[in-house]
Every structure is written in structure tokens, then in C-alpha cells.
Structure 1
């Protein structure tokens, strides 16, 4: 019998992966806000480099209390909305359920694991170019890999667990490229190598990834930021190698022109994921008496820009 999936946050990430799972035959339940009436009536439309498809009928909800308990709950909200999870998750998880956080940043699994009735928590690191371009309409431009790792207290490595392997099998059946991580905390730091550099600079420089990589000065700055992330990871005894940094630079050079999620949020006057992506790593480094000056400056610039942008924020 197929596992049942719940999608919390049916946007560019949750909508795409949830639609792929339903297309592959899994029962999927989608929680929506602004798109609820549209998706309930017309379903989801996916444009993808892997092939376009439409789901004319989906299980759509605007109230988590109306959703059934699911075997796996994929949380694809921005971390700026995580304060809503204590009200959303308890009714969606049953005995043996797994919560997977398809989110960016550090320190998020620890907070979600504290929510009553939430048991096993996984992190999912998504390397994907995907945008929501209209009501129930998602455009997948490039990549799509998900790295899964299980959370344990004090961020101890869990190795490859049975539940990770089971979800991997489901994802692969849905055409979602998946890797398993023995050490979620290391994978989180590795994801920051890209997120801190490109999400932050895309807002501060008002640029796409292509524009950032086309300029010699910004390319140098990207590399310097990535090297600072590696210094931060080292304070937690996690090693990010120069080869990994080179791989991220190469991936981004080959990537189709892309506006980062933080740039899209900024342009739409939505709150930015500054604390999860920048603030938490800086706090960890500071606790180890380590300064990350370029990341700290980027953090301060983003805080300033968000305040200036907030008169039109849609909270």
C-alpha cells in the first residue's frame, strides 16, 4: 500500500514535489492558502524540463483540521512561517508519521521536533530551480535533487535509516532524484554554501545568478562567502572541501538564468528568510569565537533592505 503524503506549502517547491508524487500514484493532500479555490476547482499545472503535466483533480484543503493524518508530511513553507507549524502539524501526524522539512537554513529541525505529537523529523535539502508563476501553476526550470537526512538531538549523525530509504524509494518512483545523507547537519552547512552566497547577493546586488557569475568581482565575492561558510561549518566539526565549493560554482555557471527565492520574495515585498539562513549560522560561529565578516555584513545589509522594503510587506 502506498504511503500517504501531506504537503504544507503548495508553492514552487511543495507544489512541484507533491504533484510529482501524485502523478506517480501516491495519495497526496495539499494545504493551500491564496490558491485554494483555484486549485480545488482546476487542480495543478506543472511545466517542467522533465515533461509538462496537469493534475485536474487534487485533494486541496485550506484548513489543516480537515486533512487526514499522513504517513509523511512535507513542509515546504518558508521558515518565516514556521511559527504556524505548532497549529498545523499535530492534526496531520499519527503514530509512525514522519515530518520532512524541505526548507533552507540551520536550526529548524530542532524547533519542529519540540512540537507535541511530532515524532521523527527529517531534513530535505532541495537543489532545484522552480517558480510559482500563477495560481496552481508551477514552472520547474532546472535540477530537482533532494538530499534527505534524519535529525537527532545535538545534531548527531544518524547514518542511513530505514525511513530515509523508504522515502527515497517513493521519490525515485515519482522521478525525483534523491540522495541520502548520513549527517544532516553537514548537509545543512553544505546547502548554505549556495544559499548564503546567491540568495543574499541576488537581493543586495539586484541580480540573477547568471549576472552574478558573469561579473569577475561578484564571482570573487561568491567564492569568499562560500569559504566563510566552510569556516563556520568547521566550528561544528564539519568539513566543507574546496572541491565542494568548486562544484557549487560550476553548477551555478551552468544553471539557466534564475532569480533566487529570496530575490523573488524581496521583489514581492514578502518577509525574507534572513535568520534561518544567515542569523543562525552567525550565532553558531560567534559562540565558537569565530567571526565571519562578509556573511555578517551581508546579514546586516539584508536586515536594512528588509526594513526599507517592509512598508509594502504582505505578512
Structure 2
């Protein structure tokens, strides 16, 4: 059994699911929580999954990062909209030789984390997971669950598969979490964006689940066209995604159970959207290389509009609640 210990920063549908699986496998996992703290401290975590339901009656739950033990691996599962909290959190949680495993969507999260802890202490992770939080401490896993792990180096230089990457992968495999290891983290991030950009964006703008987007011939064409723009953007970074990747992603989504994307869930629950990480950053990278992404840029502008509108409505609602 490994003696590595883990911290989960962001105990939601993703962090809660993976952290619970790691603890169930016998690893020490420490969970940082905010609004869910009281419930999880008292009742633990409950996971519903087609792979088997389970409950962890007791977990190492903390409200304050300063009271948590320092850890070998800090799993960052917060939304990128909360990354402004990390300069205070991460140095407190990391052992001297610890690493941050960034399980966040979009592009350029790793360079941001590297500015806080150093590039040599950052690993990237791409999650292919369908899950949602039913209530505090109660997570429903619908489908999939694979994580692609890749070492980060400055400017996303590809440095291959390291021993520490293999060791962390072994911990996840012990927890029956499927793992793929990537020699090129930036290429893997662009591949994830081929799915994330069309489905997250269109699900919000068109108020649709993935199965509804796939069933309509017009939106299916739109999905394919947006995917092609992502592949062009990746090429501008000298990352080549093969021609068969789009049909493979479409087949993957056809087989997926009806799913409300993470961005659609955030929108429905009046949370800030990860517009910059998933849309803005890829657009800016491509523009710097002289590549235009017209359909993605339209989605980006629309999402910025609806995000501002929803956040303003939520702010007014909260003010009325105080009256």
C-alpha cells in the first residue's frame, strides 16, 4: 500500500467522486470543504455509481486549509473561476516535495499554478467523467471516469512519462479509476477541448443536453464545425490531432448517457461560468499564432453575455433576500 497522502481542493461532483474512490481503496485523503463541511463532517460521503454504490461514513473533512496536514499530492478540482484563492491555499497544503494535480477544464491552468508552486511541482489531468452533486456529500456518477495524466513543464514542453507520474497513476488504478498517461500534456488538453468547447458552450446557449445536441442534424453539423476549429487551433501550437478524432468523439458522445454538461449545471445553478478557461484562453492562443476561430468566438461572446446577465440576476436576488 502506498504511503502517499492526498488533499482534495474542491469536493464537488469531480473531486468528491475521485477522492472517495481513493479513500475507499485505503489511501489517506483529506477533503477541504466550504458550504458542505457540516454535512460531510457528520455523515461522510455517499457515491451512487453504475460501478457500485458506496458510503464513507467518516472522512477527513476540513473547513480551514491551515488545519489540514501537508500532502504529497494536492488534487485541484475547483472551478477555474475560483483560482484566485489558490495563492493562499496551495503553499499551505503541499509538502516540500509535493505536487499539485490540476484536474481543471480549459487551457493554461497549469502555468497559473506553476507561478504559485513552481513548474516542477505541477501535473495536469484531463477527466472524462459524467457526474453531478445531488446534495451536500452526495454525488451521482453517471458514466465514464478515465483520467489522462501528463507532466507539466514550462511552456507546455513535452517531457514524457516520469516515475512520479507512474506512481500516482498506480494509486488511482488501485482505486479502480481508469488512467491513461500522456507524453504531451498540451496535446491532451487540446484533445479535451475538442469535446469541451462545442458541448459546454452549445448546451448553455441552446439549453440542451448532449443527447439533444446529437439528435438534431443542424446542431450536429455545428458541433463538427466547432470541433474542426479546435483542431485548427491546436495545429497553431504545433499539436496535430488526427483526422479520425472528430468521428471518434461523436461516436463517444452518441454512446454517452443523456448528460447535462458541467457548464450547463453551473449556469442552471447561477454559478460563474468557466468562459475564459475553456473559450477565452484557446481563442487568445490561436489569435497569437494568426489563426481565427469565428464560430468559437461567437460562442465566447454569447457566453460572456449570458454569464454577466445570470450573475447580475443572482446578485439582485440575494439583495432582495436580505431585505
1:42-81 matched pairs, under 5 angstroms: 42-81=43-82
User: Any conservation in 2 of the 1:36–1:60 contact (CA below 8 Å)?
Assistant: yes
Residues 187-233 of structure 1, C-alpha deviations (whole Å, 9 max, x = no match): 00000000001000000000000100000000000000000000000
Give 4+ residue runs of structure 1 displaced > 6 Å after superposition.
Answer: none
| Distance apart, 1:118 and its partner CA | 7.6
- Tell me the equivalent position of 2:152: 151
Alpha-carbon distance between aligned partners in 1 of 2:23 and 2:266, rounded to the nearest angstrom: 27
State whether residues 119 and 153 of structure 2, in contact with CA within 8 Å, keep that contact through their aligned partners in structure 1.
Answer: no
Q: 1:229 aligns to what? A: 230
Query: Hey, what does 1:300 align to over in structure 2?
Result: 301
Preserved contact between residue 119 and residue 152 of structure 2 (Cα < 8 Å):
no
- Whether the aligned pair in 1 keeps the contact of 2:50 and 2:143 (CA below 8 Å) is yes
- Alignment partner, residue 261 of structure 1: 262
Q: CA deviation at 1:119?
A: 4.7
Matches within 5 A, 1:268-287: 268-287=269-288
Relative to structure 1, the CA distance from residue 42 to residue 118 in structure 2 (aligned partners, 3 Å threshold; closer, same or farther) is: farther
Are the aligned partners of 2:120 and 2:152 in contact in 1 as well (CA < 8 Å)? no
Deviation at 1:312, TM superposition (A): 3.5
Aligned length: 315
- Verify: 1:247 aligned to 2:261, yes or no: no
**1:23 corresponds to:** 24
1:124 aligns to what? 125
Equivalence for 2:321: none
* Partner SS, residue 80 of structure 1: helix
Instruction: Report the TM-score when normalising by structure 2.
Output: 0.96
- Give deviations 1:70-124, integer Å, cap 9, x for gaps: 0111000000001101111111111210100100011110010111478510111
CA distance in 2, matches of 1:174, 1:313: 39
* 1:131-142 paired onto structure 2 within 5 Å: 131-142=132-143
Match of 2:179 in 1: 178
Aligned 8 A contact 2:47 2:55 in 1: yes
Residue ranges of structure 1 left out of the alignment (5+ in a row)? none
Q: 1:309 Cα shift? A: 0.9
Q: For each residue in 1:237-260, what CA deviation from the matched residue of structure 2 results, as whole angstroms up to 9, or x when unmatched?
A: 001112111111111101000000
SS of equivalent residue, structure 1 residue 242 = coil
User: 1:154, CA displacement in angstroms?
Assistant: 1.3
TM-score scaled by structure 1? 0.98
The alignment yields a C-alpha RMSD, in angstroms, of 1.2
Gaps of 5+ in 2: 319-323
Q: Is the 8 A contact 2:119 2:154 kept in 1?
A: no
C-alpha distance after superposition, 1:266-288 (max 9, x if no partner)? 01111000000000000011111
SS in 1 for 2:11: coil
Query: In structure 2, how many angstroms separate the alpha carbons of the residues matched to 1:42 and 1:207?
Result: 34
2:203 corresponding residue in structure 1: 202
- Maintained 8 Å contact 1:125/1:191: yes
Q: Secondary structure at the match of 1:112?
A: helix
Counterpart in the other structure of 1:36: 37
